[in-house]
Chains A and B, each alone.
Chain A
């Protein structure tokens, strides 16, 4: 069974009220065809479901060589295994959309329009939803968010 870890990095995961892109990193197990196939599937679905998603794919060995997670300050937002990939990716995207909504609430009106265009179905101005809690505001539950700490 192949497995991939999904990480987020860049302004979307760091800024409170603005972002340019949703930068995502898929770390897959190795350079085997099956492992690459799962990573490509994950990338395809993430780009389909999340506007402005920019996805990088690296095997575990490649990530270690580049030290990408540490250098980019990436945070893990989920794990995907091949048999349940679709459902897990959708859960990750729900988290990302929650974060879009949280950022949209804090943004000034000019930025809000651009942010909402990323995810129009969660227009913060058009919904009377209550403010999410501290963890939910980030868009991911506590079990899903694990900040990577390098040795």
Chain B
């Protein structure tokens, strides 16, 4: 399925996430994008705030994967799943959302960047779904 490398943290075979980079460089709320290596990027927003963002391709990104990522890379502000056929778990998203860490797919992160508290961003579908399940108010 996903085209990740054999070892943590699964950057694609070129070491870059080209689609993610293109989207960020064209985004009005991204002042600067820097690749730090191993799937880790630094995004500087127009207000000067800096985000440490981890991008990966993996089948399913969950709570243990997040723990492993932080163990290897230190503090992160957001996790971005770059592949359309891969995803993250609801448990991780809601757990991290309460802790100020955003978990998104690229399209969701594009929307989240327009908000100061970007980590809280949910699509309308997600908001409805989580409310229906009683997972958010």
Contacts and interface: CB of A to CB of B under 8 A. Distances in A.
Interface of A: 10, 23, 26, 28, 31, 33, 35-37, 39-40, 43, 47, 51-54, 56-59, 61-62, 65-66, 68, 72
A52 B6 contact: yes
Contact of B60 (A40, A51, A52, A66): A66
A66 B89 contact: yes
CB-based closest 6 A-B pairs: A57-B64, A62-B89, A36-B64, A39-B64, A31-B63, A36-B67
Contact of B64 (A23, A28, A51, A53): A28
Interface in B1-33: 1, 4, 6-7
A22 to B, nearest CB: 10
A51 B91 CA distance: 30
A32 B14 CA distance: 34
A58 B89 contact: yes
A40 B62 CA distance: 12
B62 A62 contact: yes
Given A40-B71, A62-B92, A66-B60, A57 B65 contact: yes
B111 interface: no
Contacts of A39: 64
B6 A40 contact: no
Contacts of B58: 56
A112 B10 CA distance: 26
Interface in B25-68: 58-60, 62-65, 67-68
Interface in B76-110: 87, 89-92, 95
A61 B63 CA distance: 11
B67 A40 contact: yes
7 contacts: A23-B59, A40-B64, A40-B68, A43-B64, A58-B62, A62-B91, A65-B90
Nearest to B5: A54
Contacts of A10: 1
A18 to B, nearest CB: 16
B60 A56 contact: yes
Nearest to A51: B6
A105 B7 CA distance: 28
Given A36-B67, A40-B71, A57 B6 contact: no
B63 A56 contact: no
